[in-house]
Structure 1
Amino acid sequence: MIPDVLLVAMAGVLGLLVGSFSNVLIWRLPRGENIAFPPSHCPHCDHRLTPRDLVPVFSWLGLRGKCRYCRAPIKRRYPLVELLTGAGYALIALLFPPLTFGWGTLGLMVLFTLLLVSSAIDLDTYTIPDELTLPGVALGLLFALGNAPDSGLPTFAQAVQGALLGAGLLVTINNLGAWVLRRFRERQFPEFPLGYQQISLGLLAGAWLGPWWGAGVGLVSALINLLARRVIRIPELLTLGGLLVSVMLGSAGMGPGMILMVQGALAAAGAVSLVCGVYWWIHWRRHREDDTLADDENVDASAMGFGDVKLAAVIGAFLGWERLLVALVVAVFAGALLGIVQMAMKRENRVKFGPYLALGALVALVWGNEIISSYRTMLGF
């Protein structure tokens, strides 16, 4: 009992320290700054901060929320992020004891930090940096290598499935929704060499050929674009319309069956979307200083990054596809509820989907197994 209490307390202290670093990420990543250099400094007077200025929570309290050197106010968010991270890490250590779950506990702490930092940045800038989400997917898969099959955390194969289905589900909703909003007209400026067209093609191919062959078809399409040095248009009436027809045929007993077709389509789309994310992330970093970048129509669509898609992949990689679905349902309900409240108050809802998705992931982490078990019991499984 005493070792468990000590581990929880140590996890809380670790969380306070990581929370201090999280504030660095929240400030520097959206600005494209190096997260290690220069050392921590006041954003107002640029004075370098000493260790006594960086003690989590207590420095802010001791300084009464003001810089020691220029007396400029320090945002309350700094101690709040530190306290939330400390409490979150302690709760994770309590619910997923390190002596039982091993590296899986540390992985969940990493997920908590990714969710908190992503949400804070999304609230500030309405973006989620690729520097968080794309490495986050890789970390989720890496931690899954150490999860035992009976641990309640996803194995590597389940983490891969969760990441692909997470990205695929959100990007499919995005593609179909955008197609409907355009009144079924084609995209005016398809991305070169790969983008939403290849994702939609992966959807259709994945429904019939499975996730990996479907992803391969989408990526071959990108290769053809490169060889042709131009975009070879693939009509959405064929890809997205074909997907809807395919699902209807699957429900009628044709092909692999509706469930397998949907899973294959979503996973293939998720795989292509993550490849798109990596490609455009590298492209954007290489051309960040190019003054003509903002006018490049081939870069514009990719630069928007569909951060929620990649954040869903992170959640799926760390928690598996079942808990991912719980997170999505909670996120949708939380967003709808806040929207109704703000409509009643006659205020505009400016909160992006990322923070709701993060909230859903935390609910799925803590209560996901109980929710899934209750659902299965209700259905008689």
Structure 2
Amino acid sequence: MSLDLLLVIFAGIFGLLVGSFSNVLIWRIPRGENIAFPPSHCPNCDHPLAPKDLVPLFSWLSLGGKCRYCKAPIKPRYPVIEGLTGLAYAAIALAFPLTTYGLLAPLGLMLLFTLLLVGSAIDLDTFQLPDEITLTGVILGLIFAALPTGGMTRLLPTLPNAVEGALFGAGIVVLVSLLGSWVMRRFRERRFPEFPLGYQQISLGLLVGAWLGWPAALVAAALSAGVNVVAKKVVPIPELATLGGFVLSLVLSSAGTGPNILSMVNMALTGAGAVALLCGFYWWIHSLQSRRKTPNAEADSAAETPSDPVAMGFGDVKLMAAIGAFLGWQATLVAFVAAVPLGLLLALTFGKKLPFGPALAAGAVIALFWGPHLIAWYRGFTGM
């Protein structure tokens, strides 16, 4: 047996174990529970589970899908998550042999798959993508990009490319959200702008980034937030000026004024993405502080705070940023393009409202395995 094949088998077994832990994350993160303590227990009778109850796949099969102690049914999702993770880890080890790419890069892709799977399962249950999955994924993606991955061929993006991928991923989704919600409001201004950072600053980042790049977009957003803090209220930034100005900028660019249109779109997306991530991390830190002070304060506040119509959830913005940090901007674009028809197909198939996160995750898996081939095919087809 070759070394690569042996490593594929080990990766599959490792994936089964990670899949078992993924089920813990899927159950506990939305409930705000510690992921390590108490040890695994039946969610129905709270009886602690013995090691023989925790063998991936086999425990569920041997018990007939029921708890050993109270006989309550155990959801089939548990072995499905374990099996999918085992298969995916083995597939990654097979597609990207460790003898060629080193250990660290395939491990990073395995971690990305787990983040996508856990996030999708939680999104299907709650219509929310937790920051513990998405923003932690952004941080981990940048860490993996910064580390020397080893191997004869580089698989993960470099750190500058990972940063660009994260900003681009966040930007492409938040742009759809900005324009979509503007249309849903019939081009009226927001009634409930966030304080001190929010969608108004993201729209500003979109416009400033289109002309000056994402660092300038961050500076402009920070100055706007500072004005809000000093004024102790939201100082309006008309979307007619920011979003309308972005559309006008594209018209001017196509007429030969300023950067070429592709560069302008890229700079605008990374500018909006940079401010969106700034908002994401700010809101995450703020929610953690609120939770420490008053348990359930975040949920109560969300229930009481009115909001404007939303075209896409902000969790999708952060999930795409994590995908971009692991895969780079080109593969992230492939993921988004694949996710749109997948999301429509799922919605039409099941005939009900579904979260977009699982479609983004599926698109990311397509980009993970076939992204470079699809990009090469597109370049050959268009002659680029």
Specify the TM-score bucket, using the shorter chain as the normaliser: over 0.9
Work out whether 1:374 is the aligned partner of 2:377.
Answer: yes
CA gap of 1:131–1:301, structure 2 versus 1, over 3 A, is: farther
Aligned-pair CA distance for 1:350: 2.5
CA deviation string 1:194-230 (max 9, x = no partner)? 0000000000111111111112111221122112211
Match of 1:323 in 2: 331
Aligned-pair CA distance for 1:255: 1.2
Name which of 257, 278, 284 aligns with 1:254. 257
Match of 2:17 in 1: 17
Match of 1:166 in 2: 169
CA RMSD, 1 decimal? 1.9
Q: Secondary structure at the match of 1:183?
A: coil
Aligned 8 A contact 2:57 2:83 in 1: yes
CA deviation string 1:233-254 (max 9, x = no partner)? 1011111111100111111111
Q: Distance in 2 between matches of 1:210 and 1:366?
A: 31
**Uncovered stretches (5+) of structure 2, i.e. residues with no partner:** none
Aligned 8 A contact 1:191 1:298 in 2: no
Q: Secondary structure at the match of 1:329?
A: helix
Aligned-pair CA distance for 1:339: 3.4
Q: Distance in 2 between matches of 1:350 and 1:184?
A: 25
Aligned-pair CA distance for 1:293: 2.3
Aligned 8 A contact 1:41 1:47 in 2: yes
Paired positions, count:
375
Aligned 8 A contact 1:210 1:268 in 2: yes
Name which of 265, 268, 271 aligns with 2:268. 265
Q: Distance in 1 between matches of 2:197 and 2:308?
A: 13
Paired AA for residue 360 in structure 1? G
Q: Distance in 2 between matches of 1:67 and 1:153?
A: 41
Match of 1:45 in 2: 45
Q: Secondary structure at the match of 1:287?
A: helix
Q: Secondary structure at the match of 1:376?
A: helix
Name which of 337, 342, 346 aligns with 2:345. 337
Q: Distance in 1 between matches of 2:94 and 2:109?
A: 12
Aligned-pair CA distance for 1:151: 2.1
Match of 2:321 in 1: 313
Q: Distance in 2 between matches of 1:34 and 1:294?
A: 23
Work out whether 1:197 is the aligned partner of 2:205.
Answer: no
Match of 1:221 in 2: 224
Q: Secondary structure at the match of 2:71?
A: coil
CA gap of 1:334–1:290, structure 2 versus 1, over 3 A, is: closer
Paired AA for residue 194 in structure 1? L
Match of 1:345 in 2: none
Aligned-pair CA distance for 1:100: 2.0
Name which of 216, 231, 237 aligns with 1:234. 237
Q: Secondary structure at the match of 2:64?
A: coil
Aligned 8 A contact 1:287 1:293 in 2: no
Aligned-pair CA distance for 1:44: 0.5
Aligned 8 A contact 1:165 1:267 in 2: yes
Using structure 2 for the length normalisation, give the TM-score.
0.93
Aligned 8 A contact 1:47 1:69 in 2: yes
Work out whether 1:79 is the aligned partner of 2:79.
Answer: yes
Q: Quick check: 333-342 or 243-252, which moved more?
A: 333-342
CA gap of 1:330–1:228, structure 2 versus 1, over 3 A, is: same
Q: Distance in 2 between matches of 1:258 and 1:217?
A: 22
Q: Distance in 2 between matches of 1:117 and 1:295?
A: 25
Q: Distance in 2 between matches of 1:341 and 1:219?
A: 44
Aligned-pair CA distance for 1:380: 1.1
CA deviation string 1:142-191 (max 9, x = no partner)? 11123579524311111111100000110011011100110110110100
Name which of 285, 288, 298 aligns with 1:285. 288
Q: Distance in 2 between matches of 1:338 and 1:356?
A: 8
Q: Distance in 2 between matches of 1:77 and 1:152?
A: 31
Aligned 8 A contact 2:192 2:308 in 1: no
Q: Distance in 1 between matches of 2:213 and 2:247?
A: 16
Q: Secondary structure at the match of 2:28?
A: helix
Q: Distance in 2 between matches of 1:245 and 1:113?
A: 41
Q: Distance in 1 between matches of 2:354 and 2:345?
A: 12
Using structure 1 for the length normalisation, give the TM-score.
0.94
Paired AA for residue 133 in structure 1? T
Percent of aligned positions that are identical: 61
Aligned-pair CA distance for 1:99: 2.4
Aligned-pair CA distance for 1:38: 0.9
Aligned-pair CA distance for 1:337: 2.5
CA gap of 1:111–1:205, structure 2 versus 1, over 3 A, is: same
Aligned 8 A contact 1:199 1:269 in 2: yes
Q: Distance in 2 between matches of 1:297 and 1:337?
A: 33
CA gap of 1:139–1:339, structure 2 versus 1, over 3 A, is: same
Q: Distance in 1 between matches of 2:256 and 2:179?
A: 24
Q: Distance in 2 between matches of 1:286 and 1:37?
A: 22
Paired AA for residue 93 in structure 2? A
